[in-house]
């Protein structure tokens, strides 16, 4: 049986670059090489694409990130054995295009990718921009499409959709950098009046808790806002839901027939589940399945599928909730359309506990991507005579 040529994309122009590299390493270890020929494509922090020769991921890395592009005079500025510079050719349906070394002229095409696994987190990876490039190239890819990716990435827009759908969320205020510069005192008074203390401050378009702070008073709020605005020009300030448990649920499938995994709980090793506790220390505990009442778990699973459907999701998502310890009230925190695939990540762990081991999960995600692409390929892209009534 002919192997499927899978392009594994990782790295990227995001604060979550290093997390993406860890995800790629985990996927590479789990994938069934009898079924897939893997093309490793690292994107450095400047946005340059580099193709590994073979499947040596470390050859593309330097210090845990994709090696920078070699200087024009030749050689590698990082000392890493970086791969060939490539681009995704938008006219040949998934072919990678590589420039020939001097004195050769022009470019040549490498074998086309059958499907892409964009193991990129954050901006320029899960926000719809990369998905648009892959759509233009006509290549199937794992995960949500352009609109769903962009919507889920922007917390302010996603919250509006979830509010319209009647999905419970924490009270919040959205502000932009110009609003903050124009009237910081007014915004701080409004936050204190409407939200009380403590409050969470988050960049609207990032994940992995990058730039997220918990503010307990006006002084901390000012610093938290300034920090979040370093990462995004739009931020969300939320009422902190105290005395709650943090739980997560994984979704797999198309929007119309998605299914939810068992529910898992995160017990943070700090006041909240920040970047350090997620990736840099081992103080947090992940409990799968979560030790919560059955009806509460079922409510989480129900709302996970509903949130996925409301954004028009496809393929996969991880949906995060807060559950009141005393009340059992379920509140949506956010939805993540390209969750981490690191060895400690909840998404593969939740599906493993639901009877779908990691290698099989990758198989299912690839098949979903190919199904979506086949459906799009059947759509008519030109107007033919007789298409309009009365023709």
As a whole number of Å, the CA-based R_g of the chain is 22
Angle in degrees, CA 125, 128, 131, rounded to 5: 80
Residue 11's closest CA among 37, 56, 50, 55?
50
Give residue 105's pLDDT band: very low, low, confident or very high (50, 70, 90). Answer: low
pLDDT of residue 80: 45
The 3 state secondary structure assigned to 165-176 is CCCCECCEEEEE
**Helices 155-164 and 146-153: angle between axes, nearest 10 degrees:** 100
pLDDT digits (tens, 9 = 90+) for 222-261: 999 999 999 999 999 999 999 999 999 999 999 999 999 9
Per-residue DSSP letter, 182: H
Please, are residues 41 and 31 in contact by the beta-carbon 8 Å criterion?
no
Confidence of residue 76 (pLDDT cuts 50, 70, 90): very low
Residue 109's pLDDT is 83
Tell me which of 121 and 249 has the higher pLDDT.
Answer: 249
Q: Give CA–CA dist 267/232, Å, rounded.
A: 28
| pLDDT, tens digit, 9 for 90 and up, residues 130-141 | 999 999 999 999
Model pLDDT, residue 179 = 97
N-terminal to C-terminal alpha carbon distance within the chain: 48
Cβ partners under 8 Å of residue 138, min gap 6:
93, 94
Which phi and psi (to 5°) does residue 6 adopt?
-100, 125
pTM of the model: 0.89
- Summarised one tens digit per residue, pLDDT across range 264-322 is 999 986 555 454 454 444 567 899 999 999 999 999 999 999 999 999 999 999 999 99
CA–CA dist 266, 128 (Å, integer): 28
């Amino acid at each position: 049986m002919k192997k499927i040529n899978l392009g594994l994309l990782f790295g990227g122009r995001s604060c979550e670059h290093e997390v993406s590299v860890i995800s790629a390493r985990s996927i590479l270890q789990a994938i069934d090489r009898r079924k897939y020929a893997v093309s490793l494509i690292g994107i450095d922090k400047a946005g340059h694409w580099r193709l590994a020769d073979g499947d040596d991921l470390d050859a593309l890395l330097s210090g845990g990130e994709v090696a920078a592009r070699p200087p024009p005079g030749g050689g590698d500025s990082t000392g890493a054995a970086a791969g060939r510079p490539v681009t995704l050719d938008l006219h040949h349906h998934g072919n990678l295009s590589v420039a020939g070394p001097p004195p050769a002229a022009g470019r040549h095409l490498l074998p086309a990718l059958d499907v892409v696994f964009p193991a990129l987190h954050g901006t320029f990876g899960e926000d719809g921009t990369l998905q648009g490039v892959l759509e233009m190239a006509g290549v199937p890819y794992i995960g949500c499409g352009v609109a769903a990716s962009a919507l889920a990435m922007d917390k302010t827009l996603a919250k509006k959709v979830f509010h319209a759908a009647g999905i419970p969320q924490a009270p919040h205020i959205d502000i932009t950098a110009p609003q903050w510069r124009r009237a910081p005192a007014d915004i701080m008074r409004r936050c204190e009046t409407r939200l009380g203390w403590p409050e969470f401050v988050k960049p609207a378009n990032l994940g992995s808790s990058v730039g997220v702070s918990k503010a307990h008073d006006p002084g901390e709020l000012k610093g938290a806002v300034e920090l979040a605005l370093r990462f995004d020009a739009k931020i969300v300030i939320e009422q902190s839901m105290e005395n709650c448990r943090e739980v997560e649920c994984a979704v797999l499938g198309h929007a119309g027939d998605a299914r939810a995994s068992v529910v898992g709980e995160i017990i943070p090793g700090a006041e909240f589940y920040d970047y350090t506790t997620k990736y840099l220390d081992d103080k947090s505990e992940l409990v799968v399945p979560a030790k919560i009442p059955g009806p509460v778990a079922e409510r989480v699973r129900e709302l996970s599928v509903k949130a996925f459907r409301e954004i028009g999701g496809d393929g996969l998502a991880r949906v995060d909730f807060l559950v009141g310890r005393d009340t059992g009230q379920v509140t949506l925190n956010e939805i993540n359309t390209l969750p981490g695939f690191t060895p400690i990540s909840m998404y593969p762990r939740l599906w493993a506990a639901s009877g779908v081991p990691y290698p099989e999960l990758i198989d299912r995600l690839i098949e979903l991507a190919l199904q979506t692409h086949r459906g799009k390929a059947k759509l008519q892209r030109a107007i033919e005579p007789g298409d309009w009534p009365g023709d």
